[in-house]
Structure 1
């Protein structure tokens, strides 16, 4: 595996509904600031408009809010529901954010996850994925070509449309892949990244390598390159010093999150299993969905995904949630930064080598230091007259 990047995928989940949104947004910002200080490479923020729990309606505004309050971490829409928007304005806003953040912006696209969102604006659920394919074609033309575009769909009409802005960088674009091959089809056609949001769910894990096969087939068809370094896998993790402590930590919020997916979120492929806390912990750990355990468990999970991907991927994104209290959640990210990231990025390799060299030379060098100190002391007193 090449150097793996780490980040989060922040919906954000704030179950149960009824929390103060100002406080919730502040917690989300503080998590991203914490990750920025820890050296995580990226954070992706979602778009949702219904069901009362995933409460950021515009990830672009939130990114603009976070950018000046962070220094290094890249910020992406995770994801922007493209069929809900006019592609011309998406192109303009994406380029604008790329300029405002001086290259720290990433654009993630999807069909829209919550069926209630689509229903409120009159988009048929059955049409969302087809709409995403069509709209991505339009958006990519607007981002990559100087020629004006005229196009008409049931959702918008463009006449000689062309963005007047130039990007600051060739910012990364990713397409969500959850349960259908739509994401890999689009990403492969346009040579952009893939966000495998359901990568660790049983269905997603089983088709992980197939997702990339679809990507490569489509890329070959359209004469573009499918780049594994732009493939991001998403899954939940909460770690502590011991597995027992991690399980104790998630007593705070795992049940509320599971209730949201089971009784409120009408998305069958994203639904927790189990009725008791113990059953839900087992569902996370034993099905391979995620990790409630130690940094060593997290390392094994990523290695398992690497093997299943049949060739590797570029980033692992932790599905951010509030299973644990803020202090325990931040400690989990610290442990991942200190022990999991270095394992896959090789940043601690030379430090460990230096430690082993020092251990091997400890006796010999210590003996020489002791003799050198004694010799200097002897010289000092040898030059003094006796009293």
Structure 2
């Protein structure tokens, strides 16, 4: 990756918001704190705030990323709102299209909607789904969604999938700001899906991996974008949103940072380590974290901790390996608010200024797939 004329490394930063909760008494304070952190990220120049969807287990306190995104939309000055991710099989397809469109309108096109099959059995069971069918449910639900976005007004629209069926006599309301649909992305670590996304012109949201592993995945994605024959603007936008996730903690020294963060890391790693009472599943096996249970592997893939110098050096490793965008997690594992606040302050004041970025400037109202991305699903429906 080429450095800028002033010597700074080009890099984008977003804030990924996924706070754990110990119980009902904590929920309101946690949500209020996360809203404050999101507004702070917008003021500090983060490119986006990413919100996620999890249910029934305390892993993500606010549960509904679209509702929280709508709350933030009218308060943000410049940041995009990202959904990372909507668990597609858990939704009625037309209802999800409506939610995506409304968020797109409220942000005036400054949103990116990540889609994935999900996979936690307890969440699927709570919403009447079979997690073992998540890939086929993803395929059929996404197919209906894409057809609905392309459906002309005034014509009857019928659909029937495993858990849902219906007839739409009117139109999806509201229409998206970005035409003909919001910016869609695929969350994946799988090489085949990464390659398909590149060929079809979808942005990709990665989870966590160490920098050199990032090089191989980014190279695969870039090659697939080239194979797809997309124009320069689409390729640039796809690469702008190509992101890896890192759990971040910054303190004045490396020693202080690790001493502060260790309890939060262990709480995060052990979260949900016991199977649910109904035997629905054990999600300590990496289904959410995307890392193995081995602590060393987890730290190498998922964690960037230290002084501002150390954190900046680690982030530069990602940049040097072709990763243009890092999604930062600051709140995790019940970390005390004052430590998280100080970490964010150090990151925004002493780490971010060492990097630079150009504005995210696109014609969001342009009515063709050149900027809308996600023109069609893959042939086998896995994205």
How high is the TM-score relative to the length of structure 2? 0.74
8 Å Cα contact 1:18/1:52 also seen in 2: no
**Which residue matches 1:120?**
126
User: Cα–Cα, structure 1 residues 217 and 102, in superposed 2: closer, same or farther, change >3 Å?
Assistant: closer
Q: Distance in 2 between matches of 1:113 and 1:44?
A: 19
Q: Which of 83, 89, 100 lines up with 1:94 in the alignment?
A: 100
**Pair 1:301 & 2:314 matched:** yes
**Which residue matches 2:240?**
229
Q: Which of 184, 187, 190 lines up with 1:176 in the alignment?
A: 187
8 Å Cα contact 1:261/1:272 also seen in 2: no
8 Å Cα contact 1:43/1:73 also seen in 2: yes
8 Å Cα contact 1:133/1:182 also seen in 2: no
**Pair 1:12 & 2:12 matched:** no
1:53-76 per-position Cα deviation (integer Å, ceiling 9, x unaligned): 322221111111222343322212
**Which residue matches 1:31?**
37
8 Å Cα contact 1:240/1:246 also seen in 2: yes
Instruction: Decide which structure has greater helix share.
Output: 1
Query: Is the partner of 1:78 in helix, strand or coil?
Result: strand
8 Å Cα contact 1:17/1:53 also seen in 2: no
1:98-123 per-position Cα deviation (integer Å, ceiling 9, x unaligned): 22233333312121242211122342
**Which residue matches 2:368?**
none
Q: Distance in 2 between matches of 1:293 and 1:88?
A: 45
**Pair 1:316 & 2:331 matched:** no
Q: Distance in 2 between matches of 1:216 and 1:150?
A: 34
**Pair 1:292 & 2:302 matched:** no
**Which residue matches 1:21?**
27
**Which residue matches 1:327?**
338
Q: Which of 72, 84, 90 lines up with 2:90 in the alignment?
A: 84
Q: Which of 136, 155, 159 lines up with 1:151 in the alignment?
A: 159
**Structure possessing the higher relative contact order (Cα contacts under 8 Å, 6 or more residues apart):** 2
**Which residue matches 2:142?**
136
Query: Is the partner of 1:51 in helix, strand or coil?
Result: coil
| Shift, 1:32, TM fit | 0.6
8 Å Cα contact 1:11/1:78 also seen in 2: no
**Which residue matches 1:75?**
81
**Pair 1:212 & 2:221 matched:** yes
User: Cα–Cα, structure 1 residues 27 and 229, in superposed 2: closer, same or farther, change >3 Å?
Assistant: same
**Which residue matches 1:360?**
none
Unaligned runs of 5+ residues in structure 1 are 275-279, 348-387
**Which residue matches 1:41?**
47
**Which residue matches 1:384?**
none
Query: Is the partner of 2:58 in helix, strand or coil?
Result: coil
Aligned counterparts, 1:253-264, within 5 A: 253-260=264-271, 262-263=273-274
How high is the TM-score relative to the length of structure 1? 0.74
Q: Which of 285, 291, 302 lines up with 1:268 in the alignment?
A: 285
Query: Is the partner of 1:72 in helix, strand or coil?
Result: coil
Q: Which of 41, 56, 59 lines up with 1:53 in the alignment?
A: 59
| Shift, 1:245, TM fit | 1.5
Total equivalences in the alignment:
332
Unaligned runs of 5+ residues in structure 2 are 3-9, 276-281, 359-383
| Shift, 1:340, TM fit | 2.8
**Which residue matches 2:365?**
none
| Shift, 1:317, TM fit | 0.3
Q: Distance in 2 between matches of 1:283 and 1:62?
A: 33
| Shift, 1:332, TM fit | 1.8
Root-mean-square deviation over aligned CA pairs = 3.3
